[in-house]
Each structure stands twice: as structure tokens, then as C-alpha cells.
Amino acid sequence: MVTFLAYANALTLGEAIENRRSVHKLYDDVSVPDSRIEEILRHAVLYSPTPFNCQSSRTVLLVKDEHKKFWDLAREIAQATEPPALFEKVYEPQTKMFRAAYGTVSLH
């Protein structure tokens, strides 16, 4: 049996980067109040480093119904603009996965 550590040690850095995958299992049941989520987010944005300390970040937090509406809209746009095969393979699963979460944070 090959352990993860043995597998990881056998890879070159390039191979590890090429084979990296993110696996998400998102849920919409949270025990943290929305006000606490906002507080943590404000703190993170305020104290996170920015290029040349410009502090120009804008942050949008969507939770519950607004979050669901956002991902429904993202799905509709992707379905209308992407080739059907690409939509079914990439965009449909991604929007479904992210919609299953409690909220969305957008930093720009």
C-alpha cells in the first residue's frame, strides 16, 4: 500500500503542481451568526497586506437567498454563453457545487 507521503515524496515539484486538485464539499448549514462572519471578513480585509499598502479592496458578502440567486444567475449566464459540452462538463458542476454553500465572498 502506497501512503500519501510516499506518493508525495516520489513526485517532482512540477508533477505535484500538475496533479494538484481541489476537492470541495460545501454545505449551507453553519453555526456562526452572519454578524460574526461579517466581523471576521472586515478584519481580514482591513489587515490583509495589499500592494503598496493601497487598501483598495472592495468586498461583497452574499449569504442565504442572495447567495443562491447569485449562483443561479452565474449558471444561467454560463449556459447561455458557453458551448453545451463545456457547460455540462465544467460550469454545471461548479455552479451546483458553489450554490450548495452558505455564502459567497467576492474581493475586487
CATH of 27-107, one of 3.40.109.10, 3.90.1150.10, 3.40.50.300, 3.40.30.10: 3.40.109.10
Looking at residue 85, its pLDDT comes to: 96
Give the distance, in angstroms, between the CA of residue 16 and the centroid of all CA atoms in the same chain.
21
pTM: 0.74
Buried b vs exposed e over 14-27: b needs ≥16 C-beta within 10 Å?
eeeeeeeeeeeeee
- Domain range list for the chain: 27-107
Q: How confident is residue 17, by pLDDT bands cut at 50, 70 and 90?
A: confident
Quote the pLDDT of residue 30. Answer: 93
